[in-house]
Structure 1
């Protein structure tokens, strides 16, 4: 991941998108926060811009980057299944992956 200048938008306006929003890390050169970048097509005019409800005001943002991937569980590595060192299955993990297993 690399900081991108505010000169480069995360998404361009698109007449085919009714509404879309994604959260990014942003900075004003001093602080780091999160802010949504939204785009849509209102009244036939495509638009895109930073939300005014982010941790840093839209007009103060100098750089942005994608959010990092969340950390994986140290017990099941995000699979939901816990195994001992010899590979024996020990049960279902209590992390989100274990509580909400992927469908088969």
Structure 2
């Protein structure tokens, strides 16, 4: 077996933690009940699967890291917009993400 990079180890650790906590879902939205399936999902997301080409593995790891960075950056514009809608902030439809965040602070 090839040695995993730090990024791949981090992804595998996160996926298996989600599985143990019962939060890991398939692409169809069903809970993962099998440890083997959780490992397969983790290897695929980590770009370490032997079922995919090296190019697909690189692409998969890149997508996973981008999604993790997006999750860390806070709420999306759509989420901020929904909050602004509930508070009935005028002009919200033309505001950027930063402007919505600023308006919600007030």
If the length of structure 1 is used for normalisation, what is the TM-score? 0.31
**By percentage of residues, which structure has more strand?**
1
Larger Rg: 1
Name the structure, 1 or 2, with higher relative contact order (CA <8 Å, separation 6+): 1
**By percentage of residues, which structure has more helix?**
2
